[in-house]
Structure 1
């Protein structure tokens, strides 16, 4: 059978089951025939002995009864003849022992027959039963008759135990009477043995051909899951075609996943265009170098490169030409670096170089060399010859930063300085102004992180009617949550405007503020929402004009929204601002002139800008109880606004005395800590 399986190099599972079934059937036939032969031999050797003994005893008792009646030899021979006639399939012969023959005489021809038959001689001599199978169709049983005490009454010359004779019986096996219970027990036992053997055969063969390969596959999958080792492969030593296909497809899948994983790993650490390390990998190198430099007490330098006017190349010649410029620049930078230096593309047209164990002076030499090489480089491109310049910033560890964040901030600050000083030059952080700008950039990182991590919050401060203290509106104010600390807008507004992040904050506050509208309206169904936009947000008039659509999408009526502007928004482009305000007011949105009185031209805007509210500068309001000049200013602003048909709102009201005086002056509304601090709706 092993030879048969060895011949089959590939076999399907269905064919395997068919082959195993045929083999099991063949073995079952062999076992049945073998068991039949064993049963026959057992019947002959065991069951036939008992039947022959019983038959011999019956014959002996018949002859013994005749002899006790005094029958002669002729009568005894006649009785034997009758027995043979009665049992035609049996052949019965009687042989007298020596003691009986000596006293009563031998049978005719008996001596000659005994002399020719050694088996009879042995039975007469030894006195033992003898069972013979002369051929496949018959058996022969010799039953010796031993003398008993009763026999000695006639056989006076004998003694107890002497062999008086042998009864020789021969009969066919086909007429053998076998015990039904014994036969059934044998059949059940042999059948169970056959089933057990076939089961063991199928178990071990299927275990070898099917179970063990599947267990091996599961083991490989477990190793891949635990160790993430995609180089493992399944190797089956089985002829089953399905398992071979399973192994082949599984190994192919592993190879595909391994290749994709390698590509993804390459893409996760390298820039696909230039093949350089990307920002993520550069940050890993930078972190490692900071640890190494700190441990060994040495410096290293980082150069950041930003191409000047690269957008012009992309817009004029197309992005494919821009990509060629970046590839050429990569080659130029590579040629100017040492083997251990790390060159990376941070994104767009920004590159960074890390110079391990390099002090600022040596790093400056490298930066100047690369700057001159680029200045002299003429890029031969399909559209013609192109020159390209770049701004270089150089920072050093630990002078310009001791952490990854500080180094990045320093690079941004120095690069910003290079751009503002005319571009196409190499700059370092070398004065106190640069250090101050680094602080601003650090705060910018804080703002960017707050935006990215969704930590911008919209807090509401009530605006009340001073006549009765009822809530007229809420001003939506921006805050940043830093753990358990709430950072007020005064700490980051200037940074946001300096770094061009004001509009992003405005959009986030607008979104968060509108999300509070439904909750607040449930308690104050007529309250207005004042949004204090950053000055630079009004520079993007398209975004401002999109505010009504934003309100409609949020389900907020335009009539419930008030936009606050200052003269800083209006001053640079009053014509456009006026047109935008009129367009917004046409949708129902109202406008408030904020910080009125803080600038020299505040009164002029009442003439040119169509607004609905005037918010009186808080610095005048705070001291009206104690300073008559401030009170006069507030009175005149309030009077003038009312004559223009506008409502007034006093800011920075922090005590009851101030609130009472505002009632006397006739100011419409007020806001400040006296009426409520900025907080979330809940």
Structure 2
């Protein structure tokens, strides 16, 4: 190994000059930190313009002592300043070697040791400054399946990937584009106004660079190459209503959700950030702003209310009611679903108690697969329900006595192994709660769950119900489902009844129960639960002629 190879391999910046201080060599680390592209041939004075003494005075070359360290500031750009020590050594041929050692004594290092890029804290500062000054763009780069690389090929290979990406990004992007190691598996690029028009091109370039990394072990991965999920967005100091960091996070999430290995413009997204929604959910849970809305379920033959379903709603601090469809994906992704389930279950049990003496009937409540993975919540549900039964159903305290609470679950929420699902549900069944299978007909596994689990109710998939009056295939499918349910002794429930034609068709087919906006809209639970819906007598509604 010759001298050049040794200097190139060093992890600290090295600059070598001849006796006249003309640069002969700059190693890769120096190019990274000082922002020198491979095509540049800078002078020593231009490089030293980026250095200054700790007191802020310019650093003069002729004042740098031989063989003794000089404390300096390294000015990598307008904002980034790093404490460092500069060493000057005389070479045998009359030349000079300048070495820069970053100050690592404190915890305020602004450079990532694995990649040589700036760290998150410094990039965050730069983003804040640039947002105050004018326009720019952010590109958030997430390494796809880095955990698989670490677990399958080892953490050394994972570090090799991160290091190689950092080197490649810095070596193939304009020096004006600032790049940082943002987290363990992420990089962030800050695009200046002069390169705004190239933002999408740069975002796609990062993935192209990842595809071409010549790493020895990557062919062992599925697909044989590395890929990235990337989000990008522009920002403008005149618009303070948007948070570009949240926007690029949302775009990366969307890139992963839609298949990875792609760059997504955050400006094209129509849904709020999953993380913003998650933050709102956590606040709502802490402040008791997750509430149940009750929708009546009717006997389609008689028009009487025979049950109801508790649906989760989030109330904003301003009083706006947010339906579950707008936050349930975030809740599932961020493992908050079980907390929402437990909140709604508690409210439904209380509702069951207060309504029992006026109109005892079944109360449906949804649970998630996340809830089933928390046996302590199942135990709490049973304990709460037992207390409720002591007040309203003292004759039903014994196990196996049928209780009014019905646990409703969709097949997508059940675990793959039905025996595991039954094991999780068994304490609820032993207590006397019944099961309803929601969205039946929406997936291939429905019949297997119906075979292996003791359901009492079958809720027909909403799309079939929506088209039942206008699509002969939908009608025949629902008819077959109804016939099967009758043979199995199951009660059928049709959701999403949106007009009279649908209601009439369901009655003709023989579907037992139904719910939907055409019959009754959900109502938020009230301190007096039945002050809005008088359930003591049959309700006059569109099914009654």
What TM-score comes out, normalization by structure 2 length? Answer: 0.52
Cα drift, residue 613 of structure 1: 1.1
Q: Secondary structure in 2 aligned to 1:439?
A: coil
Cα drift, residue 598 of structure 1: 6.6
* Counterpart mapping for 1:62-77 below 5 A: none
Distance 1:320 1:314, change over 3 A: same
2:192 corresponding residue in structure 1: 356
* Cα distance per residue 1:105-159 (max 9 Å; x no partner): xxxxxxxxxxxxxxxxxxxxxxxxxxxxxxxxxxxxxxxxxxxxxxxxxxxxxxx
**2:322 pairs with 1:487:** yes
**2:518 pairs with 1:678:** no
2:493 corresponding residue in structure 1: 649
Cα drift, residue 301 of structure 1: 3.8
Distance 1:601 1:270, change over 3 A: closer
Distance (Å, rounded) in 1 between the aligned partners of 2:259 and 2:349: 50
* Counterpart mapping for 1:585-664 below 5 A: 585-586=429-430, 588-596=432-440, 609-616=453-460, 640-652=484-496
Distance (Å, rounded) in 2 between the aligned partners of 1:367 and 1:624: 46
Distance 1:367 1:554, change over 3 A: same
Cα drift, residue 517 of structure 1: 3.8
Distance (Å, rounded) in 2 between the aligned partners of 1:625 and 1:507: 37
Q: Which of 493, 500, 524 is equivalent to 2:355?
A: 524
2:147 corresponding residue in structure 1: 311
Q: Secondary structure in 2 aligned to 1:304?
A: strand
Distance (Å, rounded) in 2 between the aligned partners of 1:418 and 1:311: 14
Q: Secondary structure in 1 aligned to 2:141?
A: strand
Distance 1:428 1:625, change over 3 A: closer
Cα drift, residue 354 of structure 1: 0.8
1:510 corresponding residue in structure 2: 341
* Cα distance per residue 1:255-276 (max 9 Å; x no partner): xxxxxxxx9x977999899897
Cα drift, residue 350 of structure 1: 0.9
Distance (Å, rounded) in 2 between the aligned partners of 1:270 and 1:562: 57
Cα drift, residue 515 of structure 1: 2.9
1:292 corresponding residue in structure 2: 133
Distance (Å, rounded) in 2 between the aligned partners of 1:629 and 1:327: 57
CA contact (8 A) 2:310 2:348 kept: no
Cα drift, residue 485 of structure 1: 2.3
2:247 corresponding residue in structure 1: 409
Cα drift, residue 679 of structure 1: 1.3
Distance (Å, rounded) in 1 between the aligned partners of 2:205 and 2:470: 63
* Cα distance per residue 1:208-240 (max 9 Å; x no partner): xxxxxxxxxxxxxxxxxxxxxxxxxxxxxxxxx
- Which structure has more relative contact order (CA 8 Å, sep 6+)? It is 2
Distance (Å, rounded) in 2 between the aligned partners of 1:660 and 1:319: 63
CA contact (8 A) 2:296 2:309 kept: yes
Cα drift, residue 547 of structure 1: 5.5
Distance (Å, rounded) in 1 between the aligned partners of 2:313 and 2:109: 35
2:180 corresponding residue in structure 1: 344
Distance 1:476 1:280, change over 3 A: farther
Q: Please tell me whether Structure 1 or Structure 2 has the larger radius of gyration of its CA atoms.
A: 1
CA contact (8 A) 2:409 2:437 kept: yes
CA contact (8 A) 2:372 2:378 kept: no
Distance 1:550 1:281, change over 3 A: farther
Cα drift, residue 579 of structure 1: 6.9
Q: Which of 393, 400, 414 is equivalent to 2:230?
A: 393
Cα drift, residue 561 of structure 1: 3.9
Cα drift, residue 592 of structure 1: 0.9
Distance 1:647 1:347, change over 3 A: same
Q: Secondary structure in 2 aligned to 1:285?
A: helix
* Cα distance per residue 1:648-668 (max 9 Å; x no partner): 434456799999998999865
CA contact (8 A) 2:180 2:189 kept: yes
Q: Secondary structure in 2 aligned to 1:352?
A: strand
Distance (Å, rounded) in 2 between the aligned partners of 1:447 and 1:615: 29
Which structure's residues are more often strand, by fraction?
2
CA contact (8 A) 2:144 2:260 kept: no
* Cα distance per residue 1:435-486 (max 9 Å; x no partner): 65x224x353452232232254432323456788876544221223343321
Cα drift, residue 368 of structure 1: 4.1
CA contact (8 A) 2:440 2:460 kept: yes
1:216 corresponding residue in structure 2: none
1:564 corresponding residue in structure 2: 408
Distance (Å, rounded) in 2 between the aligned partners of 1:370 and 1:603: 43
CA contact (8 A) 2:231 2:263 kept: yes
* Cα distance per residue 1:19-73 (max 9 Å; x no partner): xxxxxxxxxxxxxxxxxxxxxxxxxxxxxxxxxxxxxxxxxxxxxxxxxxxxxxx
* Counterpart mapping for 1:108-123 below 5 A: none
CA contact (8 A) 2:137 2:233 kept: yes
1:218 corresponding residue in structure 2: none
CA RMSD of aligned residues (A): 5.7
Distance (Å, rounded) in 2 between the aligned partners of 1:622 and 1:392: 37
* Cα distance per residue 1:556-602 (max 9 Å; x no partner): 68955423244556797667657766686355442112244677997
* Cα distance per residue 1:585-640 (max 9 Å; x no partner): 35544211224467799788755653111235567778999999999987875565
Which structure's residues are more often helix, by fraction?
1
What TM-score comes out, normalization by structure 1 length? Answer: 0.43
Distance 1:307 1:560, change over 3 A: same
2:73 corresponding residue in structure 1: none
CA contact (8 A) 2:298 2:305 kept: yes
Cα drift, residue 511 of structure 1: 2.0
CA contact (8 A) 1:336 1:370 kept: no
* Counterpart mapping for 1:255-270 below 5 A: none
1:475 corresponding residue in structure 2: 309
- Which runs of 5 or more structure 1 residues have no equivalent in the other structure? 1-262, 295-299, 381-386
Distance 1:348 1:615, change over 3 A: same
Cα drift, residue 644 of structure 1: 2.2
